[in-house]
Structure formats: C-alpha cells, structure tokens
Structure 1
Amino acid sequence: MDDRIDCTTDKKAQDESVDMRDVLDLAMNMGRVLLKNGAEIFRVEETIDHVCGRYKIGDVESFVMSNGIFITARDETEDIYAKVKHIPISGFHLGIVTEVNDLSREISAGKIGLKEARMRLEEIEKMPPKRGRFRILAAGIGSGCFCYLLQANFWESMIAVLIGCLLYVFVIFAENHRLTKIITNIVGGGFITVMALLALSIPWPFPVRMDKLIIGSILPLVPGVAFVNSIRDIANSDFISGIVRIVDALLVFVYIAIGVGFVLGCYNKITGGGWI
C-alpha cells in the first residue's frame, strides 16, 4: 500500500515538473504528423487539446490550417510560448493518423509519460506504407470494381484491373523518385489513355468501350480522401482549410484531364480517331 502511494506521489511530482515548452513541442509535433498524413483539422486541434489538458496547461490557443499550425501559450510565471510550423500538403497515411490518435488518448488518460510519448511518436512517424504489391493489387481491384459499377461488362472490368495495376506501378515509381504531383497525375492520365487505346486495338471477341476503361482505371489517381476531408473541414466551419484542400483536390482532376486530353488529341490527329 505504501509503495503504491509513493509511486502515485512520484508520478504527480513528475507531472508537475514537466516543462511547458516540452509539452507544447510534443503537441506541435503530434499535430504536424497528423496534418502531414491527411488528418482533418478538428482532429489535429483535439489532439493538441488532449496533450495540453493532460499536463494542466490552461492558457493555450491553437490555430490549424491545411498547411500550418500556430500555437501560443502562457504559464503561471507569465512565460509566453509561441511557435509556427509549416506543413506542406502531401500524401495520406491513415495508419499513422490512427496510431497518433491512439497515442493522444493514452496521454490524456495518463497511461504514458512525456518521454515515452516522444519516443512513440518517432516510431510512428517512421511507419512505412503498405507493401507495394498490396497497393498495386488494391488499385487494380478498385479500378475493376469501379468500371463494373459504370455498367461495363465483365471483360472490360478485367482489362481495367490490369490497367489499374500497371498504373499504380508507375505511381509507386513516381513516389520513390519524388516526382511532383503535377507530373504524376498528367503522366498517369496519359498512361491510362494509351493503355485503353492499346486494349481497343486488339480484336477481342467481346465489345470493349474506351470510355469505360478510361473512367474506371482513373480511380487510383482520384484524391477521394482529400476531397472528403475538405468537405468535413467546411462542415466544421474551417472554411480556409477546407477551400485550400478542395482546390488542391480539384487541381488533381485537372491534371488527369490534361493527360487524358493530350493523348486523345494526339491520337485523333495521327489516326483520325477511327477506333473511338
């Protein structure tokens, strides 16, 4: 019994001796990791509040945008903390978002200390994405299912599966070589169109329609998570962040359309569009 009381006392003393700047640095880094990997604005703000609330830091103000976090705080000694972090809009890793979200709940419940939380956050940030072959397979299946939903026949859907898999091989190549979003989506749209034209040139014993192949195979490039998150941000009155994200998502659609339109335009000029 005495040992439990001593442990509780030591834990409280340790919590009270925590420096405000260390806590806010941890909250800032957790928010950065969340925002970088596609979390919603309200989730980032809640995480910062959970961490600061756990260590009784009261006068905290956080302002989160789609590409930046602003935090200010003041403690009992009137020391002022202010920090701004720029986070470029990048890809999505919902596994990291889930892990950081769980970590914030553990911190809020007092199950984990500040030092251990920093170490856990470093490990979470290093989490690799899913293996390439699984992502390629998922892209192919998604393309085929989407093509089938557009009332394509079974064989058209199977061709879309193949095109979707090949497309995501290129997407992973672009990620590994740090190609920009503009190049990736323009070339990806053009690649889909070239593959659809090649499929159309083969004398299949069943009908093949180009529009079904192109629209179905585009699915792996569509920024669905970004688009949905932007709507959620707008619904939560985070209008600036929501508009920035929705414009970013809409630009991806424009890049894809440029790639598709360029290949189709070149094809029509060269051959007269006899297969379309």
Structure 2
Amino acid sequence: MKEKKMLKEKERTEIHVQDTSDKMSKVLEFAMEASRVLLCNGAEIFRVEETVEHICRRFDIKGVDTFVLSNGIFITAHDGTKEVFARVKHVPMRGINLGIVTEVNNLSREISSGKVDLDEAWMILKKIEKMPPNNNWFRIIASGVGSATFAYLLGANFWECMLTVLSGMLLFAGVIFAEKHNISKILVNLLGGAFITILALIYCNIGLPFVLRQDKLLVGSILPLVPGVAFTNSIRDIARSDFLSGTVKMIDALLVFVYIAIGVGTVLAGFDGLRGGMLQ
C-alpha cells in the first residue's frame, strides 16, 4: 500500500512538473514572438524587455532574464528546479511601423490586466502582425506635405514649398518601389540623394518665373529619407544604458546620412564640373 501511495504521488509530481514545463514553454514562446514583432517594427530596447517581463509576470513565470540587442533577443527562465528554459531569436533590422508597436503595447496591457488569456493573445498578435501598412498614396502625399512643411520651417518661400511637395512625393514613390523589390538600403539612399539633387538643379535652371534657392529645395525634399525615429530611439537606448544596441542603431542612422550626402555631393560635383567644362 505504501509503495502504491508513493508511486501515485510520484506520478502526480511528474504530471505537475510536465504541466508547468508546458506552460512555461508556451508563455516564453509567446513572449519571444511579441518581443520580436516589437523589435523588428522599431520599438526601443527597454520597451521590448518590459513587454517580456509583463507577459511572464502575468502567467506566474519567475526567474526570467531578458537580454535584447538591436537584432537579437535572448530569454531564459527556470521553474524552481534544475530545468532551465531558453529562447533565442535573430531579428533582422528593417523599417519602422509605430502602429504595430502601439497595438502590441496595448495587447501587453490587456494581458497584464487579465483581460486576455494566452490563446486569445496568440490570435490577436497574429492579426496585429498582418496589419497592412497605410495606403501607398496616403504615404506618398504625407511625404510630400512633410517635405514642404520642413522646407517652410527652414525659410522656403511658397513656390519652393510647392516644388518640394512634388519632389518629396516622387522620392517616396521610389522608396516604395525599392521596398517592394527588396533593393539595398545603401542604394536607395544614394540614388534618393542623387535624384533629389537632380530635381533641384532642374527647377533652378529651367527659367521658372520666380525665385528659387537650391539649398531650400534640397533640404526640404530629402526629409523622407532621414531616419529620424531610428536616430531618436538610439539616443533613448543610450540614455537608458543600452549602449551596445543604442550605438548600433546610431551608426546605422548616421550611415544613412552619409549615403544621402554622397548621393547629393556626387551630383553637385558632376554638375559643377559639367558647367565649368561648358563655360570653357
């Protein structure tokens, strides 16, 4: 009888341990997926780490350690026994979608408050990840308006702002084309800088009946290529002592500025050389 009792207790313990292991595995898998969606859509490092902690705390997962880099996530947890659970995910750096980041943050809050269980959370997360981006025409028009606004803030006149709208729209149409065909970011920024410079030179040299300043046209039109959110996030990461991730993001943003400058400088140098040759 004693042996049977001990066997039953052992079986119960094993079942409990197995259930706990399965639960931890599922929770960590979901936490990893939610953090991946956040990171690849431009969320800050601290936000990704906090999301993992909130999700694990809601489902009573303790002993959780999270280490997040700009392109990688490492999560470990233990259940009080010798067994350790670990998840590692490589996250390639890509564009920014703050709409998806906001939705995942809202989902994390609902999980923390107990409004959503794990199965429902999985379904919602899959829907969030499949959220379509804004309509391309909306993005193109917004790019043109943003470019003109920036040019106006820098002292552009009415006609310069109008031409900047056109340049910004044409530039972002090219960016969307590049996104669809997976063209290298280096090439996009080099050609984008060159394209905007060519347009500015055309505007200033075709004899339009109003005053145009090349620098205002250039600075305003280049706005769609500027990685403002990425640069700001890198500063926020560094301010929170995430030096490695912040430095990587900052270098990535600074390199974009370099690519744009090379594109602009190459066209301007070529134009000056050509004009000098024609004058001679």
1:139-150 to structure 2, matched below 5 A, reads 139-150=143-154
Tell whether the 8 Å contact from 1:231 to 1:246 is kept in structure 2 after alignment: yes
Tell me, in whole angstroms, the C-alpha distance in 1 between the residues paired with 2:278 and 2:148: 26
Cα deviation digits, residues 18-44 of structure 1 (max 9, x gap):
610100010011000000000001110
The match for 2:267 among 263, 266, 269 is 263
Confirm or deny that 1:78 pairs with 2:102.
no
Q: Structure 1 runs of 4+ off > 4 angstroms?
A: 15-18
Deviation at 1:273, TM superposition (A): 8.8
- Counterpart of 2:116 in structure 1 is 112
Alignment of 1:21 onto 2:64: no
Return closer, same or farther for 1:103/1:18 CA change in 2, 3 Å cut-off: farther
Q: Give the aligned residue type for 1:108.
A: S
For residue 53 of structure 1, what is the aligned residue in structure 2? 57
Specify which of 143, 147, 154 is matched with residue 158 of structure 2: 154
SS of the residue corresponding to residue 208 of structure 2 reads: coil
What SS class does the counterpart of residue 92 from structure 1 fall into?
Answer: coil
Partners of 1:17 and 1:196 in 2: how far apart? 63
Alpha-carbon distance between aligned partners in 1 of 2:83 and 2:21, rounded to the nearest angstrom:
15
Judge conservation of contact 1:267–1:273 (CA < 8 Å) in 2: no
2:38 paired residue number: 34
For residues 177 and 211 of structure 2, the distance between their equivalents in structure 1, rounded to whole angstroms, comes to 32
* Gapped regions of structure 2 (runs ≥ 5): 1-18
Following superposition, the deviation at residue 17 of structure 1 comes to 9.0
Give the CA deviation at 1:133: 0.6
What root-mean-square deviation, in Å, do the aligned CA atoms of Structure 1 and Structure 2 show? 1.7
Mapping of 1:158-169 within 5 angstroms? 158-169=162-173
Query: In the aligned structure 2, how far is the partner of 1:150 from the partner of 1:233?
Result: 29
Q: Which moved more, 1:44-53 or 1:257-266?
A: 257-266
Q: Secondary structure at the match of 1:162?
A: helix
Q: What is aligned with 2:92? A: 88
Change (3 A) 1:163 1:58: same
Secondary structure of the structure 2 residue equivalent to 1:124: helix
Alpha-carbon distance in structure 1 between the residues aligned to 2:137 and 2:278: 36
- Separation (CA, whole Å) in 1 of partners of 2:176 and 2:113: 39
Structure-2 residue corresponding to 1:223: 227
> What percent of counterpart residues are identical?
61
Q: What is the one-letter code of the residue matched to 1:97?
A: V
**Whole-angstrom distance in 2 between the partners of 1:219 and 1:232:** 21
d(CA) in 2 for partners of 1:19, 1:152: 60
Tell me what 2:209 maps to.
205
Which deviates more from structure 2 when the two are superposed, residues 109-118 or residues 16-25? Answer: 16-25
Q: Which has the larger radius of gyration?
A: 2
TM-superposition CA deviations, 1:112-169 (whole Å, max 9, x none): 1111111111111111111101110111011111111111111111111110011011
CA contact (8 A) 2:160 2:217 kept: yes
Counterpart CA distance in 1 for 2:276 and 2:132 is: 47
TM-score normalised by structure 1 residue count: 0.91
DSSP 3-state at the match of 1:63: strand
1:69 maps to 73
Deviates more, 1:261-270 or 1:167-176: 261-270
Residue type matched to 2:176 in 1? I
Cα 1:205–1:274, aligned 2, differ >3 Å: closer, same or farther? farther
CA shift in 2, pair 1:232/1:85, >3 Å? same
Closer, same or farther: CA 125–274 of 1 in aligned 2, 3 Å: farther
Secondary structure (helix, strand or coil) at the match of 1:272 reads helix
How many residue pairs get aligned? The number is 261
Equivalent residue letter for 2:74: F
The 8 Å contact of residues 65 and 76 in structure 2, kept in 1 or not, is answered as: yes
Residue equivalent to 2:4 = none
Cα contact 2:28–2:87 (8 A) shared by 1 = no
The answer on 1:191 being equivalent to 2:195 is yes
Deviations 1:205-256 (A, max 9, x none): 2111111101110101000000100111111111111111010000000010
